[in-house]
């Protein structure tokens, strides 16, 4: 358990509880669900520079779309998409870079290129190798609760169909297992961040419930990241396309902060920086 304190990501210190931190999403995946997929290094650099100017604290670079039902790309393709961007960004921005991948070779090359954090959307369900890599390189690792391995997705309707007696019991159980695996692999508690996995194997109503009950995850004693930006829970409530969900995202971010979120992973950095500052002024001491 890491109840409070500081986590160093690259050259930056993240002081938990002081304020909410912003993770800007750089999608090097043209097939991204959110409609902001990037296919060239130059466009990615331009977006990253804008995010840095707008107040992002960390940039998350991913090469594979997490759209449900989409086939995974090869390691070589993912490497081709993300490594050149990371190498360039190290020369262009001061804020740290996270790599969004569950593939060992991609993660290893990304760290060698200068990434300062691993974002594993499978929460070590595919083995401890990523945690061992994080431990060896002394970088933080983000562990997400992902239920898509349970077949909780209907390809015909494009919706998650998970059925749990209590979704929070499921989420907390998987996070505890992920944390235990990371600790066993040598990752210090101060380098572990958890993510309840909004939109990953849960129905949209379960996603809303997770946001309402986020304090139960807070009891685990680790910093919490939430990723609600432009996701289907907003679509189901507001009936808006991905590019028109900024207000819905803002509401989920504000409620998330009120219930204990420490980092928010977002597409719309400028707007969410303002939301975070206002929410922090209300809920943080």
Q: Which two tokens stand for residue 228?
A: 């609600």
Pairing of strands 141-144, 58-62: unpaired
Report the largest interatomic distance among the alpha carbons of the chain, rounded to a whole angstrom.
49
Q: What are phi and psi of 25, to 5 degrees?
A: -90, 125
- For 16, 39, 62, 163, 245, the CA distances from 193, given in Å and listed in that order, are 11, 29, 18, 26, 26
DSSP state of 224: B
Report helix, strand or coil for 41.
helix
The catalytic residue among 213, 230, 231, 245 is 231
Nearest Cα residue to 40 out of 18, 63, 7:
63
Q: Please tell me the distance from the alpha carbon of residue 163 to that of residue 183, in angstroms, as a whole number.
A: 30
Judge residue 79's burial from the number of C-beta atoms within 10 Å of its C-beta, 0-12 exposed, 13-18 middle, 19 or more buried.
Answer: buried
Q: Active site includes 231?
A: yes
Q: Active site includes 265?
A: yes
Report helix, strand or coil for 165.
coil
Q: Which two tokens stand for residue 248?
A: 């819905």
Do 195 and 144 form a contact (C-beta atoms < 8 A)? yes
- For 63, 82, 120, the CA distances from 85, given in Å and listed in that order, are 10, 5, 19
Report helix, strand or coil for 166.
coil
The catalytic residue among 81, 148, 230, 265 is 265
Residue numbers annotated as active site: 231, 265
């Amino acid at each position: 358990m890491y109840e409070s304190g500081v986590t160093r990501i690259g050259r930056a210190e993240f002081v938990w509880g002081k304020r909410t931190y912003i993770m800007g999403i750089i999608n090097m995946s043209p097939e991204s669900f959110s409609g902001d997929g990037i296919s060239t290094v130059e466009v990615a650099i331009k977006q990253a520079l804008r995010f840095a100017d707008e107040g992002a604290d960390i940039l998350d670079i991913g090469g594979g779309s997490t759209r449900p039902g989409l086939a995974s790309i090869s390691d070589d393709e993912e490497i081709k998409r993300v490594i050149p961007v990371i190498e360039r960004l190290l020369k262009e921005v001061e804020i740290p870079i996270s790599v969004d991948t569950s593939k060992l070779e991609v993660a290893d090359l990304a760290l060698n290129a200068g990434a300062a954090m691993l974002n594993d959307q499978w929460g070590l369900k595919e083995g401890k190798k990523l945690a061992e890599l994080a431990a060896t390189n002394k970088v933080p690792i983000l562990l997400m609760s992902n239920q898509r391995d349970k077949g909780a997705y209907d390809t015909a309707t494009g919706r998650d169909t998970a059925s749990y007696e209590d979704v929070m019991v499921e989420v907390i159980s998987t996070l505890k297992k992920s944390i235990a695996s990371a600790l066993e692999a040598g990752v210090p508690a101060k380098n572990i961040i958890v993510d309840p996995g909004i939109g990953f194997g849960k129905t949209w109503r379960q996603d809303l419930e997770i946001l309402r009950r986020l304090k139960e995850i807070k009891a685990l004693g680790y910093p919490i990241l939430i990723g609600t930006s432009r996701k289907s829970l907003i679509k189901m409530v507001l009936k808006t396309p991905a590019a028109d969900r900024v207000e819905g995202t803002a509401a989920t971010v504000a409620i998330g902060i009120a219930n204990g979120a420490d980092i928010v992973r977002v597409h719309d950095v400028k707007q969410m920086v303002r939301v975070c500052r206002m929410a922090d002024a209300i809920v943080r001491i």
